[in-house]
Amino acid sequence: MKHFMLTIAAFIAVSGLSFPGSLAAQNLTPYLSQEAVASSLAILPAPPEPGSVEFLLDEYCYQRAKLLRDTPRGHQAVVDANMDGSVLLQFAESFGLEIRQETMPATYELLMRAKECFGTYGCSEAKNHYKRTRPFAYYGEPSLTPQSEAWLVHNGSYPSGHSANFYGLSYILCTLRPECQDAILKRGEDGAYSRVIVGVHWMSDIQASHIVAAAVFARLQADEEYKAQWRLAKEEVDRALGRYVEPARQPRRRTATNRASAN
């Protein structure tokens, strides 16, 4: 475990973890406002109470996940904690393309602007209302991301914003490459579960975030700005894959004036 924690420390020193990823620094704004997304407080049940059967399941899942910490899966869970633009690279294998701001700007913008809608606006009402204690604080144990604990201890655990991001991003990526949907959705599920492995979320937090992500994804489909950006991203992805087909030009209709001139 000592060797693994040193690996984590080295990773943090090199890459830096951000909570949450900043859109303001990139001059990007979310597609939806807080008022536009469904209320997480309205659509989610209350989190399990300590002593309930549901909470016992949360505790069991937490203990099981701890067994993965000193493994490659545990290392991946630490990487998954980063919510800046590098989170998109975690889908590179399943999506089949690396999404970087420099090389795929339209797709990058689509996903980063949507991300804030999932993890921040989609989750905030329930988080602020329940103020659920996170596992590492409940047990008085260190998580795998100790540098974030001072912030996380004051941020409600239910639902998981990081997990909502992973689920939501996977849904959008599936619309861009539906032929890869199985692998993409699996990566989204793995990214969400990473929060349990790290020790900053209960399993019921993850399950609730799935509902939030679905609600926000549905709302995005009615947003005209999102849809316009999605079309740009779809063209960009298809061009990168070498399968983009230019739209057929419509023949010009001859008007009465044109016909008269021709005569």
| DSSP letter, residue 121 | I
Residue 159: cis peptide before it, omega within 30 degrees of 0:
yes
Residue 195 · residue 73 · CB < 8 Å: no
Sign of CA dihedral 82, 83, 85, 90: positive
Q: How far is 168 from 161, CA to CA, in rounded Å?
A: 10
Q: Which residues are catalytic?
A: 162, 195, 201, 205
**Of 256, 108, 92, 248, which is closest to residue 183 (Cα–Cα)?**
92
Positive or negative: CA dihedral 162, 166, 168, 173: positive
Q: How far apart are CA 188 and CA 49, in angstroms?
A: 27
Instruction: For residues 223 and 173, give the distance between their C-alpha atoms in angstroms, rounded to a whole number.
Output: 17
CA-nearest of 191, 29, 33, 226 to 122 is 33
